[in-house]
Amino acid sequence: MDKSWIFKDRDTLDYEIGVEEFLIFAEEIASDPKRISCPCKRCANFKKFAVKIIRGHLYENGFSLGYLDWIWHTQGSASRSSVNRNAPTPASTPAPAPTSDRAPISSPGLASETVNVCDAAYNSSEYNNESYQFRRFMADAEQPLYEGSECTKLESMLKLHNWKARFGISDSAFNDLMSTIGSLLPKDNVMPPNAYEAKKTLSNLGLEYIKYHSCPNNYILYRGVNVDAFECPKCRLSRWKLGKDANRRWKDAEPADSPSWRNIDYRWPAIGSDARNNRLALSADGINPHTNGLTNKYSCWPIVLETYNLPPWLCMRRKFMMLTILVSGPHEPGNDVDVYLQPLIDDLKKLWEEGEPNVYDAYTKSYFTIKAILLWTINDFPAYGNMSGCVNKGYMCCPACANDTVAKYLSHSRKMCYQGHRRYLARNHPYRKQKAAFNGQQELGQARQPLSGEEVLLQQDKIEF
């Protein structure tokens, strides 16, 4: 069969006739006419399609010009074991000179040389010529680097990796080299864009690796007699990691076990009866995104919502957080942050009050009305005062004690000191009887006595506290 049409332009009549003759030939001798190896430049006999799809590929991508011996479209293509691989492969018929200005991409004997390379890379009696590795190897070994190149994709990768290993080039430098070479080559080149894709090309040469599980205490490898073992025979540790059970509940450790959650279920049963209603937490704090620290007069306040309907190990993942507001400017908003929270508050009101179905549930294939409630806020103490409007400094800064806060002003250091909170200890706690140790006062008329060893330790604890 005349194959000179392979080298002609795709808009010529000769190319059109050649494509139809090839498709008829391939369909007649194929073991499965509905799935034939596609010989276009992109597929390179690696993928199989129907005839009408292959026809489109051949006109869109062109025929693989290095594929002159149709070894994947002969009667022995289904099983090349019938080919005497110890005998020399018959050379392909020399192709006539192309009529267009384009030169042949590779020499006519390229397919024969490829078969010999395959024989060297794979054991002649063990490899399966229909396997993924072998077909990928053949595709890379037969595909020219670009139109008009006498070097194949596989050959160029071998040369580049040899150079990389010889001079100890890093992967980052190799990535830059690959991108630079690709920009200098013609647009139809098949040069891998980075080191990762280049390594995938060479992995089909049999340079793969084998992974073995090992005991966490390094006693054994799970191979040989232990290949199917589920635990180490010496330390009895499990071979496998214990996964998290999504249905398992940790008592008193999940947001659903908190008093706030149960209070919502009690006061608004309609909210608690539907697990799809959102329980939210609001997190806010001021940050300086620049590297020059506090010297830069710039402040950025992200307002983030977290969904606590999720399991505890998922609710704080970044992909489940919603950045609702970003307040940026030369100064922090301070107590005026409520002005910037108005859009968020309006949205939360809408989610609480709207009664019409507004969300589509893909599982039940129906619309439902979603409700949302803000349960908690997550802040440091200064941001807590800004977000809640509560006093967080001075004589009554404790949000729990309020007017009963025990505070003392230290005139020399000009700071507030809070030492009266031993009242929250257990009634029989020894610290409750040591007023002088915590408040720095002694009973009137009581002489100072040398401190005992226990009292010295107590004073040290007071200083550290």
Q: What local confidence, expressed as pLDDT, does residue 462 receive?
A: 41
Query: Same domain for 50 and 86?
Result: yes
Q: What local confidence, expressed as pLDDT, does residue 221 receive?
A: 92
Query: Same domain for 355 and 415?
Result: no
User: What is the phi-psi region of residue 138: left when phi exceeds 0, alpha when psi lies from -120 to 50, beta otherwise?
Assistant: alpha
Q: What local confidence, expressed as pLDDT, does residue 291 receive?
A: 60
Residue in the block written with tokens 């970003």: 326
> Domain boundary residue among 80, 99, 130?
130
The β-bridge partners of 417 are 408
> Among residues 364, 369, 367, which one has the least CA distance to residue 354?
369
Q: Name 109's Cβ contacts closer than 8 Å, sequence gap at least 6.
A: 91, 92
Query: Same domain for 310 and 380?
Result: yes
pTM score, whole prediction: 0.42
Residue type, 121: A
Q: What local confidence, expressed as pLDDT, does residue 249 receive?
A: 60
Report yes or no on 164 lying in a domain: no
Query: Same domain for 341 and 363?
Result: yes
Report yes or no on 397 lying in a domain: no
N-to-C CA span, the chain: 94
Residue in the block written with tokens 């042949």: 104
209/81 Cα distance (integer angstroms):
27
Q: Please state the domain count of the chain.
A: 3
Report yes or no on 215 lying in a domain: no
φ, ψ of residue 255 in degrees (nearest 5): -55, -30
Q: Name 140's Cβ contacts closer than 8 Å, sequence gap at least 6.
A: 44, 152, 153, 154, 157, 201, 204
Helices (H), 30-167: 51-60, 110-121, 132-142, 153-167
- The CA distances from residue 330 to 16, 284, 298, 333, 337, in Å, are 69, 18, 4, 9, 14
Which string of DSSP letters, residue by residue, matches 388-428? H----SSTT--TTTGGG---EEETTTTEEE---GGGGS-TT
Query: Same domain for 336 and 416?
Result: no
Residue 73: how many CB atoms within 10 A of its CB? 19
Structure tokens at 373: 């409630």
Q: What local confidence, expressed as pLDDT, does residue 109 receive?
A: 43
Q: What local confidence, expressed as pLDDT, does residue 232 receive?
A: 92
Task: Calculate helix-pair angle for 171-184, 153-167, nearest 10 degrees.
Answer: 140
Query: Same domain for 381 and 414?
Result: no
Q: Name 320's Cβ contacts closer than 8 Å, sequence gap at least 6.
A: 306, 307, 310, 314
Q: What local confidence, expressed as pLDDT, does residue 108 receive?
A: 40
Residue ranges of the chain with per-residue pLDDT less than 50: 76-115, 124-126, 440-465
> Among residues 356, 364, 352, which one has the least CA distance to residue 271?
352
Q: Name the percent of the chain lying above pLDDT 70.
A: 73
Report yes or no on 150 lying in a domain: no
> Among residues 375, 394, 354, which one has the least CA distance to residue 281?
375
Which residues form the domain of 377?
255-388
User: Could you read off the pLDDT of 22-38 as tens digits, one per residue?
Assistant: 888 888 888 888 888 88
Report yes or no on 303 lying in a domain: yes
Query: Same domain for 14 and 111?
Result: yes
Query: Same domain for 11 and 65?
Result: yes
Q: What local confidence, expressed as pLDDT, does residue 305 receive?
A: 92
- The sign of the CA dihedral 69, 73, 76, 81 is positive
Q: What local confidence, expressed as pLDDT, does residue 194 receive?
A: 86
Q: Residue 299 belongs to what H/E stretch?
A: strand 299-307
Query: Same domain for 322 and 409?
Result: no
Quick check: helix, strand or coil at residue 120?
helix
> Domain boundary residue among 329, 359, 388?
388
User: Could you read off the pLDDT of 73-122 as tens digits, one per residue?
Assistant: 765 444 343 333 333 333 333 444 444 333 333 444 444 444 455 555 55
Report yes or no on 346 lying in a domain: yes
Residue type, 243: G
Query: Same domain for 431 and 381?
Result: no
